[in-house]
Every structure is written in C-alpha cells, then in structure tokens.
Amino acid sequence: MDLSISSSHLALISLIFLSFSIAISFPIHDNFLQCFSSHFPTLSTDSQLIYTPNTSSYTSILQSSIQNLRFLGPTTPKPLFIITPTNASHIQASIICSRTHGLNVRVRSGGHDYEGLSYVSFSNASFIIIDLVDFRSITVNLKEKTMWVQSGATIGEVYYKIARTNGSFGFPAGTCHTVGVGGHFGGGGLGTMMRKHGLAADNIVDAYLIDADGRIHDRKSMGEDLFWAIRGGGASSFGVILSWKIKLVDVPPTVTVFTISKTLEQGAIKLVERWQSIADKFNEDLFIRLIIQPMGGVDQRPRRLQVLFNSLYLGTVEELLPLMGKSFPELGLEKKDCLEMPWIESVLYFAGLPRGPGNSIDVLLDRGLQEKVFYKGKSDFVEKPISQIGLEGIWESLLEGGSVYMIMEPLGGRMSEISRAEIPFPYRKGYLYNIQYVVRWGESDAGEGSKEDIDWIRRLHDYLGPHVSRSPRGAYLNYRDLDLGVNEEGNSSYSRARIWGRQYFNGNFKRLALVKGVVDPTNFFRSEQSIPPLVRMERR
C-alpha cells in the first residue's frame, strides 16, 4: 500500500482545471485551486478529481451518498469543492491547501452521519468535502487473520471480501451494509456479534492517519494516545484516516437466526420487561435485539405496534433451542421459527437483503441500495430495567407518533469484559442495552411535517430521561444528535462541548480533548460536534 507522496506529486493539479469552466471567481477559490494544482503538475487534464459547482457532475457527486434527505434542500450549505482522491497525496494536498487558505474540511466515506456533518458545515465557513468513494481498496492477510481496509469502503464490501477469501472468518460490525467504515469504525461500531467479540473499534490493530500538517502516521508514529482516540472517539476530529487494519474473528460454519413478532395482546410488554433483565446475561454467542415499530401503514387507525425479537446465534438450531429453553422460555421459540445459514448469509438477513438459492452476496457491493429518507435519530444507554409503567408510557407515545421505530440492543458478554477506558466508547460493564430512536417522514411533509416529527421524537426522548442512564445521560456517537448540549454556554470550546462530550464519552471526554490539544491545537479538524482542543498547562 503506497501511502507516500511520490516525487511527481510533491508539488498540488494545474492542468486538471483547464477542462472546468469556473464562473466563481474570488480569492479563496482561486488560491485553493492554484495551491492544489501546484502539487500535481503532471496530472492528466481528464482526471476526475475535483468538482466545483460549475462542474456538470458536481450535484450528482454531492448527492450520491447523502443518506438523509434532510440535507438535500436548497438552503443546505454546499461545499466549494468536492475532492475524490485516489491516493494519499490527493488528501495531503487537500489538507495543506485548505489550512493555508482558511477552508473547513469535511470527510465523507458512506454519508450516513445522522446530522450530515460528514458533508455539511453549518458554521457559515467555506468548506470542501474529501469524498472517499474511490478510496476503498481491501487487502487480506490470512496468515495474520487481519485485513487492511481503506476508509471509503463500506461494511458490506468488508463482509464480502471476508466471505470470498475464507468463510471461516467474520468481523463484528454493523447491520447496514452501505455504511462507510471511516465513520463506523471511528465512532465505535455496534453490531450483532459485539457480545462475542466487542465493537468494530475493539478489533482495530493499526491505522494510517494524515494529520493537520499533512503528515502520514501509522500506529507507531502517531503514538498510543492518538491511536486510542481514533478508535471510537470520532476519528475525524484528529485527522483523516486513510485505512484501518482490523483483526478478523472466527465464525462457526453454521449460525442460526430468528425473528419473532409479538403484539400488545400477545404479551409484548411483559416480554420486553423480561428481556431487559436477562438479555445482557445470555450466553455470549446469543444476541437478541428488539425492534418496536408500527404494524401496517403509518396512517393505519386504530394504530397497532409490534415488537420484533430479532436474533443471531453463533451455532446450530439444535444448540440454540435448549439454551433458549433455559434462558428465555417465555418467548416460546420453536425450531420452525429458526433459520440456519452460513454467517455471511446472516449479514444479508439483518440487512434485509435477498438471500438463499438464486441470490448472490454480490448485493453487498451495491452502495446504492440503501433507502434514502428524511429522518431524525436519538440514542440512550440503560443501566436499570425500565418499569412496566415506564414501558407502557413508551408504548402510548409510539402509538401517537409518526413513522417511528425503536431498536434496543443488548450489551453484556465481551462488552462487559472490556474496560470503559480501553477505547473512548465507555458503555461497558453495568450497562444493560442501548436504544436507538428514529422517526422518518416523506417528502410531502418535508416542511412543517418534519418539524412536527422532530418535536415528537424530542418529546419521546425527554420522556425516557428518568428511565435511562443519568449523570451523564448516555448517547452513541454514531447516532449523532446535535440537540445534545445545544444551549450550553461557556468561555471556551471545551466548556461548551462538555454536555454532549460527556454524553458520548463519559469520563473519557477530557482525555480526548487533551489528545486533541496535542495533535491539533489550532482545531483545524473541526465540526459542530468535533472534539475541542484542551491544552495541558505544564507546571513551572
């Protein structure tokens, strides 16, 4: 993997812009182009690397991986340039020239940031997007049981590469196959195998990063403090991750999945109440999450809800049934409810993709399959089971809301064995499960409808306050939420960020800020929720 600037690339694309008709003409624009082009004087004029608003494909490139339609409106700030690098030197040049000429930088891999911060800047500053869509090679070392993954690759591409290389291996990451690894790994990486193997970030063993000075570091040269910070602390606050080295995990030849639906009349609330007390204590091979969602259409009245008990077991159905009979007999699982399959097919199952005879895992390579919708998300972590009365209140709220669902994922197992300070993600021993809330709406409701839906999910989040973790109330970075700490005031960026910083990272926030103060003291890599620099004052 060539990560250094060659002699022909040390200087930033002069001829490339001859094919662009640039109507925008002001110093920051022209100065950036001149700076960038000086680094690549030999690059071909037909190379597709930089897109400006005057480039015919600018809009399609910008919109290509925006997953939340909230950020496709005409009033959403647009980048001055979109850079689509194919090697490290293009990224280095983008950083150097942006820093020199006062441009903010956004780095996009899969475009799934819940608040659009990988491709939008709300600070009124001119900004560029470094879009890693062409920066996604993957190489496997079976002898080491490791894999180098460039940050623009998707989780689906990682899963596909593993399965095509050796069906005995897997990797513990998320269920949405179009999510980019750059943000997913950098924010932690919850997934169906986390009770067995931990988060995606727990299984990262090295990385290449470009810092604010354009220098490339691996784990050794960046140091253990920075390597600690980028695995779950929001890597984009510290630099641009070129690639991650991940540790593959063993998976059995057969896994078992099931999804059982229960309604209120079928005792759903009692089952959820029971699940809360036992799901984190199951055998670590067993993962059962809950999905609470409306039945039928959003406008169906009277409205009904269902709870889906959605499970992966790392073993056969014959092994699973006695385990469930002992651990969760109330669910009434039977053999007919279960499906056995290779692990890679379980990836398709949880992603809602076609599987079985006549269907190929090649579907995991399709970055365009993800449905694009208007949505707003929130999150929580739970330390004590929510009472039946509390659950009934949730149920009533969901019956009143729009197109909403809640996902509750059990922790425990390996997650409880890893120290809260091992990486920045702090929700380990003592936490039962996490909650994700998402409300969605259609294009016809994009105006007032969106405000109504967002206000509703905020009320639901407020209602849950007394029932979830407190001091601080927890939140998951990869379910980004700009509501957190929105009214916080302070004399420094650090004091203003403490509310959301402690919600995402608990006691690890200050250490993240201290690392930021060392590696990026001028706060070049910044966004509306980036880690602020905290500079330690040395005693004289």
71 with 116: CB under 8 angstroms? Answer: yes
HSE value, Cβ hemisphere, 13 Å, CA-based, for 106: 29
Q: Is 479 a catalytic residue?
A: yes
State the Cα–Cα distance between residues 175 and 190, nearest whole angstrom.
9
Inter-axis angle of helices 493-505 and 509-519, nearest 10: 130
Which of 459-465's residues contact partners 24+ apart within 8 Å by CB, and which partners?
A: 459/397, 460/378, 460/394, 460/397, 460/398, 460/401, 460/404, 461/378, 461/380, 461/437, 463/393, 463/394, 463/397, 464/380, 464/394, 464/435
Spacing of C-alpha 392 from chain mean position: 30
Spacing of C-alpha 336 from chain mean position: 34
Locus of tokens 């073993």: 315
Which of 384-387's residues contact partners 24+ apart within 8 Å by CB, and which partners?
A: 384/432, 385/273, 385/276, 385/277, 385/432, 386/273, 386/276, 386/467, 386/468, 387/273, 387/467
Strands 286-294 and 240-247: unpaired
Spacing of C-alpha 307 from chain mean position: 24
**Selected catalytic residue, list 114, 375, 479, 504:** 479
Q: Which residues are catalytic?
A: 479
